[in-house]
Amino acid sequence: MSWMSLFSMASVSEGSPVSASSPLREGEVAEGPCISVEEIHSKTGVKAWFVRATELPLITVHFAFRGGGTQDPVGKEGLGFLLSATLDEGAGSLEARAFQDAVGSEAIQLSFHLDEDYLYGDLKMLTTAKERAVELMALALQQPRFDSEAIDRARAQIVSLLRHQAMDPEEIARKAWRAHAFSGHPYGRPLEGTPETLASLTAEDLRIQHRKLVARDDIKVVLVGDLTREEAEEMVDRLFSGIPEKATLTPVAEITQIPSGSFFVPFETPQNVIRFGYHGLKRDDPNFISALVMNHILGGGVFSSWLYQDVREKHGLAYGVWTTLLPLTHTGILVGGAATRTDHATQTLNLIYENLARMVSEGPDAETLSRAQDYLTGSYILGFDSARKIAKHLLALQLYGLPSDYIQKRNALIRAVTLDDIRAVAKRLLKEMQPLIVTVGQMPKTMLEAK
Amino acid sequence: MWFFYVMRALLRRSALGVWVGIAMVCLSSISGNTQSVGEGVTPGISSSARPLPEFKINLATHKLANGLEVVVLPDHRAPVVTHMIWYKIGSADEAPGESGLAHFLEHLMFKGTPTYPGDVFSKTVAALGGQENAFTSSDYTAYYQQVPKKHLRQMMQFESDRMVNLDLKKEMILAERNVILEERALRVDSHPEAQLEESLDALLFINHPYGRPVIGWTHEIEALDADKAMRFYRTYYAPNNAILVVAGDVIPEEVFKMAEETYGRFSANPSIPTERQRPKEPPLPGLRKVSLADPRVQQESLQRVWLAPSVTTSASEAYALEVLAEILGGGQISWLYRSLVFEQAVALSVSAWFQDFSVDATRFGIYAIPAENIALEVLEERLEQSIETLLEEGLTEALLERSKYRILAQAVYMSDQQARLARLFGSGLTTGQSVEALQAWPQKIAQVTLEEVRKAGRLYLARGKGVVAFLCREEQCSGQKGTEVRAEGGSPNSVEVDESEAPPVVH
C-alpha cells in the first residue's frame, strides 16, 4: 500500500451488480443508512436517482442499459463486449488518442463494461472537470467512431484477455460451469467471445449493436456528488438526450432449471478448483431474502460460515471456500467453490456435500439464524460509507426493480426470516435438485478408480 | 481504458506491493469510509494556468505512554469506523530459513486468547455486522475491522488483548499451516506469472530479504511451528512497535481516551530495536534475466524491474519517481502506452508501477504484453528505447504538469474511500515515514521538477541494471527451453546467483 498503489483505478468488475466475493448482497441496512435519494426526471424523460454529497469535490455517475451479452447474435459472441471496449476509443471528431487525451488530461474516469444482462457506463470526475466529462461521455454514447484501428486493437486485447483466462484455473472453472449450466441459452455462451467469433466482427456489427442497446427507454442512472438537483437533471439531459428513444432488444428465454452432473476439466495445476452450484432465485422471488440468509450461513459469511468452519478451520483443506447467491435477469444461481490439493479434492467435496445435506435435513439452529441476521443487518451500513459504494448500490437496486426506500425497509425483511423459511428455501434450492459440479485440475486417484 | 486496468490487475503483484492475508474474501473490499474535510494541505503553486487538484487530509495524532502511535482520520459521512492496528514487522524481518513466519503468525492471531478464547473475536465482529481481515507485507503486518461506529471500543478491547495475550495450542497449528500451504498453492503455484515474480524478486534482491516471498517458501512453511510463531510474537508485538489507525465517524479525543483505556493497559517492550537493520543490496553490475516457460502459459508477458529508492530511503528521488511512473505508465495517455501500443503497435498493454512505500530500497517496474507475433526481445528493446527517448528529449513541462494533476486528482478520488486513507497512513508509518511527511506529500509532488524526474530516471532506470523477466509458452521463450538465469552487460563480472536465493522454477 502506498501513494502509487492507492491510485490504481482497477475497479474492473465482471459487471454484475452483486460481486461474488462480497458478503454484502444487494441491499442491507442495519441501523439505516441516512442518505437521501432523490428521484429526478430530466426534460427528455430520463429518470435517475440522485444523492447530493458535498463533502468532496467529486461527481460519480453510474448507468446501465438493459441487454448485455445475451443480445449478441449467434455466431457473433463477444460483440457486446467488444462494443464496451470500443465505445471509449474515439467519438465525434476525436480519434482514439485524442479522445483519451481529453479524458486523461482532466483525470476523468470514463469507462464501459458489460455483463450478461447489462451494458454499464461509469463516469467519475472532479467537479472542476464536469463540463468536459459530460461532453465526452455524451459524445461516446452518441457518436462512437468505431475506427478500424481501434477495433483491431480492442479485438487483440480481448483475445489476450481470453488467453489470460485460459491460464487461470478459477476462470476456467467459472466458464466451464456456466457453459454446462446454461447450455443452449445465451448465458451459456462466452461473454467475451472466442478468437474465431471476434475475428469476424466488423464496425457495422458494432454500429448495429450500439443502436440496439444504447437507448433511453430503459436506462438506469445514479448520480452521487457535489452538484445540485437542477445540475443533476441538466447533466442527465446532456448525457442521454442525444441517444435514441427505444432499444430494440431480442427476447431472452427464462431458465427454470440447471442440469446436474459432474464434469472434469484436466489442467496441469497443483490444486483442484471445485465449483458447484444449483438453480437459484431471481431477485424478485418472494423467497429471495430467506435464501440470502441461508446462503450467509452456508458459505456466504467470511469467517462464520459452515463451509469455512468445516473445510478450512476444522480440516485445513482450503484457503477459501464460499457460496454466493447470484440473481440474474432470466434466472438465478446459487454457486460455490473451493481450491485444494489434488489428493484432498474428494474429501473436500464430501465435506461440502455434508454441509449442503445438513442445511436441508437440520438447517441452522435459532442462535445461528439470529447471528446471521445480526451480521446481515449490522453490516448493511458499511455499504454506504463512500460515494462509490452508494452509487454502485443504488444502481443495483434499480436493476433489481427495487424502490429507493428499500434501503429503509431492507433490514426488517432480514429480521423477519424464520427457521421455517430457511428450511423451506433450503429444501427448494438444495434438495429437489442435484448440484452441477465442475472440477479443474488433475484427476484424483479415487476418481480414476471409480472410472 | 478497460484493458489497461484489467491487465494491471492481472499482474499479480502489480503496484499493490506484496502482501498476503488471512482470508480471501475481504482483501479487495477494504475500501472504506471516506473522507475528510478540514484543514487541508494546499499544494504549491503549479507553473501552469490551472491549479492542481486540492487533496485534503484531516487528521489528529497522539502517542500513548507505552509508545503506541495513534492516528485518527475523521470522516462523518456514515456512522462507520475502520479500526486498524499495524505492526512494524514483516517478512523481511524474519530470520533466514524461516520465511513465511510473519504471515503464519498473522493467521494464528485469529486463534484466541485466555480472555477471548477460540474465535470469540471473529464471532463478535460478525455479530456486530462488522468485517475484518488481516494482511502481511515484507515490512508490516496489519489487522483491521470495519464496524458500525458504536462498536469501536469493543474492537479496541479485543485487538489490544490480542496484542499481548495470544494463546497458541499446538493442535491448532497443523490445520492452519495446511491452510497456508493451500494459500500458497492458490496464489503462487497455480499461476506461472506469480511463480516468475518470485524468481524476479529473488534476482532483484540478491542480499536483502525482500528477495524472499512474503508467504514463504514451501519447504520453510512446512517447518514453521507454534514455538517459532510465539517467539516472533513475543519479540515484535508490543505497543511501542505498532501504529493504531482509526478512520471514520469519530472524534479524535474520544478515540485517544479509548486507546488509553485499552491499548494503554500494556507496557512497552524496550528490547525491540527502533532501527530495522537488514542486509543492504550491493551495487551489483549487470542486467539480470530470468525466463519462465510453462505449458500453462497462453499469453506471454514481460516485466522490467529496477532497484529504486523508497520515500523512506530518499524522499525527493522517490517523489520524482512517483511522477515518472505516472508519466511512463499511468493509463492509456502515458508515454509508453502511446509509444508501444498506439504508435509502434508492439504491445497490447503496458503499465508502470513504483512501490514507493518501503523501509529499504524498493522496486520500480514495467509490465507489458506483446502484440501478436512480437517477440519479447523486440518488445524489451523497444521499451528500453522508448524510456531513453523520454529521458533524453520527451520530458516537457506540459507532461510534468499533466502527470502531477493526474496524481493529485487520483488522491482526491481515493479520499472517497476512508479505509484506503487509513491504509495509506498505516503503511507509510510502518515503513519509516512520519505523519508530517505524509501530510506534506501533495506539496512535494507539486514541487517535483523536470530535472529531478530526468535525473532519477537516468540514474535508476538504466539499461544495464535491474531484472528482465519473460513469461512464455514452452516452445518459445527466446528459442530456449526452460528456466534460465543469466547475467549480461555492464561488467565482465558475471552475476552468480545462489540456488537458495533463486528458486528453481516449476515447469
Angstrom distance (rounded) from CA B109 to CA B141: 11
Distance from CA of B493 to the nearest CA of A (A): 35
Going by C-alpha positions, the residue among A257, A330, A396 that lies closest to residue A71 is A330
451 residues of chain A, pLDDT tens digit each? 455 544 443 322 222 222 323 333 333 334 567 789 999 999 988 999 999 999 999 999 999 999 999 999 999 999 999 999 999 999 999 999 999 999 999 999 999 999 999 999 999 999 999 999 999 999 999 999 999 999 999 999 999 999 999 999 999 999 999 999 999 999 999 999 999 999 999 999 999 999 999 999 999 999 999 999 999 999 999 999 999 999 999 999 999 999 999 999 999 999 999 999 999 999 999 999 999 999 999 999 778 899 999 999 999 999 999 999 999 999 999 999 999 999 999 999 999 999 999 999 999 999 999 999 999 999 999 999 999 999 999 999 999 999 999 999 999 999 999 999 999 999 999 987 789 999 999 886 655 544 4
Question: What confidence score (pLDDT) does residue B283 get?
Answer: 87
With CA atoms as reference, report the closest residue to A63 among A30, A79, A87, A82.
A87
Q: Give the pLDDT score at B46.
A: 41
Strand partners, B61: B71
Asked if A371 has any chain B CB less than 8 Å from its own CB, the reply is yes
Give per-residue pLDDT as tens, A282-323.
999 999 999 999 999 999 977 889 999 999 999 999 999 999
Q: Which residue of B has its CA nearest to A383?
A: B32
CB contacts < 8 A (A, B): 314
A223 has which bridge partners?
A: A50, A61
Residue recorded with cell 524510456: B387
Interchain proximity B129–A379, CB inside 8 Å = yes
CA distances (Å), A26 to each of A329, A383, A447, B225, in order? Answer: 14, 10, 38, 42
Q: How far apart are CA B175 and CA A43, in angstroms?
A: 62
The segments of chain B whose pLDDT lies below 50 read 12-18, 24-47, 479-507
Q: What is the reported pLDDT for A432?
A: 72
Cβ distance B415 to A56 less than 8 Å, yes or no, reads yes
Any A CB within 8 A of B190 CB: yes
Per-residue pLDDT, B293: 94
**B472 in Cβ contact with B292 (< 8 Å):** yes
ipTM for the complex? 0.90
Q: Tell me which chain A residues have a C-beta less than 8 angstroms from the C-beta of B338.
A: 97
Q: Nearest residue of B to residue A315 by CA position?
A: B175
pTM: 0.89
**How far apart (Å, rounded) are the C-alpha atoms in residues B382 and B366?**
13
Of A111, A158, A159, the C-alpha closest to A13 is A111
Taking the CA of residue A291 and the nearest CA in chain B, the distance in Å comes to: 18
CA contacts within 13 A on the Cβ side of B205: 21
Active site positions of B, annotated: 106
Flag whether residue A124 sits within 8 Å of chain B, measured between CB atoms.
yes
* Best to test chain A binding among B154, B178, B243 (most A CBs inside 10 Å): B178
E-only strand ranges, A192-307? 220-225, 261-266, 271-279
Judged by CB atoms closer than 8 Å, whether chains meet at B129 and A378 is answered as yes
For B339, which residue in chain A has the nearest alpha carbon?
A: A97
pLDDT, one tens digit per residue, over A402-445 is 999 999 999 999 999 999 999 999 999 998 778 999 999 988 66
Residue B9 pLDDT = 58
DSSP for B389-426, please give it: HIIIII--HHHHHHHHHHHHHHHHHHTT-HHHHHHHHH
**For residue B494, what pLDDT is reported?**
29
The C-alpha of A254 sits at a distance from chain B's nearest C-alpha, in angstroms, of 30
State residue B171's pLDDT score. Answer: 80
**Is B398 an interface residue toward A (CB < 8 Å)?**
no
Of A163, A129, A134, A122, the residue nearest A9 (C-alpha): A122
Minimal Cβ distance to B418: which of A97, A271, A385: A385
What pLDDT is attached to residue B28?
28
Helix (H, G, I), strand (E, B) or coil at B87: strand
pLDDT of residue B20: 62
